[in-house]
Amino acid sequence: MAVFSERYALLRPAPTGVREEDAPVREEILQGIWYDQLLPPEGLCTTEGQRIRVVSPGWWNRQDGPDFRGAQIEFNDRLYSGDVEVHLYSGDWKSHGHHRDSRYEQVILHVVLSAGPDTPAMTATGRRVATLEIGPLLRPDLRAIAEMIANDERDAGTADNPGQCADLVLRFGAPVMLNLLRLAGEWRMLNKARAMRERMDHAGMDQAVYEAFMYACGFSHFKHHFRAIARHLPYDRARQLAQRDPMILETALLQIGGLMPESLPEDSATAPHYGRLSAIRRDALDGLRSLPLEWRRIGVRPNNNPERRLSGSALFIARTASDGLVASLEKVWRGDASPLQRRRAFEALFPKALGFWSEHCTWTGKRMERPTAPIGAGRIRSIIGNVFVPAALALARMRRDQSREEKILAFFRALPPEPENHLTQRMMPRLFHDEAGVKSSFQLQQGLLQIHQDWCASNPSCTNCPLAHYLAPALDIIAGSGAFSKLDTSA
């Protein structure tokens, strides 16, 4: 029986290179743990002895200043709003100079992995900030949590030049490296499924998949914005609006995102569509407030503008609203069908090039030369691979449904590649030189990302890289046409 293999875990190294103060996780991972609230919902208590309940973790701030803005937290049953700062250690507050920085004056909670005997966090005006130590609250395998929420599209760290692995592949051929990448890709998908299961346990199945779908629709500039919108407008409410009229949901998403202007120029050619949505906002969504989101569009292709993606998201949710999101996806997995047939069924759930946003990139811009679907084919492939596959795998393992997992694995192996990102573009020559005949796939891309995360991100020079030591014996054995056990790729 073919199921997703966990054999790659046997090869993975201890982290190479120097990590942030040799901490078990990066600070950004702790931020993700806070944002996704992978913490016990009850029994939280600050180091000062205050009971707390997290109503909202706040908006993830990618600019200078506190890590999260506008959090809502109850301290001893009294609700406070303010900012949250996340560090590995309690002493980082002072060592980073926050005690002298007025931008941190609104911080109401200092979240740390480990709290020591350091001086409590103080603002520039001398106010003490409560501290929450989350290290003892996390599951024992911190690294596993880190992998589940690690950012897939990190652009840092890998040089474009070939590495040691490429020399080995050039000498012995590509098969062993390709098999390793396939195993790494399956391992990465298992971790995505574990992350999905974590969120399902906290928020429910439909909400978890809805958040992941919206996050993927916002890729890459606006993914956190889209997830914030999905949490502000929960799935059950979004589904209700879509069942009434997809335009109501489109209006709600645009309004929450702050992308519905109060008015347009009188001579604007977009007036009819804008007029319809404005009437919906007035008559059906009066009082719906916008989130304080900044939409920085530098480097964003016009076709990927957030207005178009939100409109496409609304139409997708409307197409699946009758049965519900998870139930609609589950229909595709039932019965016998080829991977291609299943992919076509998933693609059919997405909106076609119809309506206002298929012909416009902005409210007042010129009409496009030809209609274009608000969610393009490449982004659809990414959503299928990064959302629908791990969601199905999470449910199959939850239900111990091996037959379903076999279907998912066959589909995953046949899935064509998603659009390249910086990492996959860099990793291919790093591992293969200019090896001809290496055909890309979604599984191969996932393996490239996993290999980068485990081996290359912290060691771009390949200095004493253990991966070459794993591969070289296997390649020697392959060259002698013998069997090998160190790198078992039979599944």
Q: Which residues fall within 8 angstroms of residue 268, CB to CB, at 6 or more apart?
A: 274, 363, 364
39: closest CA among 159, 118, 137, 116? Answer: 137
Inter-helix orientation angle 223-232/246-256, to 10° = 120
- Domain extents in the chain: 39-137, 156-491
Does position 372 have pLDDT exceeding 80, yes or no? yes
Percent of the chain with pLDDT over 90: 57
213: closest CA among 273, 171, 253? Answer: 253
Residues 254 and 314: their CA atoms lie apart, in Å, by: 10
Q: Write down the pLDDT at residue 472.
A: 63
Q: What is the pTM of this model?
A: 0.76
Which of 30-44, 151-165, 368-382, 466-480 ranks highest by mean pLDDT? 368-382
Mean pLDDT calculated for residue range 125-136: 94
What's the pLDDT band for 149 if we cut at 50, 70, 90? low
Does position 483 have pLDDT exceeding 60, yes or no? no
| Least reliable range by pLDDT among 30-34, 63-67, 388-392, 421-425 | 421-425
Q: Write down the pLDDT at residue 172.
A: 72
Q: Per residue in 223-269, pLDDT tens?
A: 989 998 999 999 999 999 999 999 999 999 999 999 999 998 877 76
Strands 78-89 and 59-60: unpaired
Mean pLDDT calculated for residue range 75-89: 93
Q: Write down the pLDDT at residue 152.
A: 47
Q: Write down the pLDDT at residue 142.
A: 63
| Least reliable range by pLDDT among 216-230, 260-274, 301-315 | 260-274
Please give the residue that has the higher pLDDT: either 62 or 447: 447
Q: Write down the pLDDT at residue 477.
A: 44
Partners of residue 83 on adjacent β-strands: 107
Q: Write down the pLDDT at residue 426.
A: 79
Does position 432 have pLDDT exceeding 90, yes or no? no
Does position 124 have pLDDT exceeding 90, yes or no? yes
Determine whether 288 is exposed, middle or buried from the number of CB atoms within 10 Å of its CB (0-12, 13-18, 19+): middle
* Element at 54 (helix H, strand E): strand 52-56
Does position 160 have pLDDT exceeding 70, yes or no? no
Q: Write down the pLDDT at residue 323.
A: 97
Task: Tell me what the pLDDT averaged over the chain comes to.
Answer: 86
Q: Per residue in 394-431, pLDDT tens?
A: 999 999 999 999 999 999 999 999 998 878 887 888 88
Q: Write down the pLDDT at residue 292.
A: 81
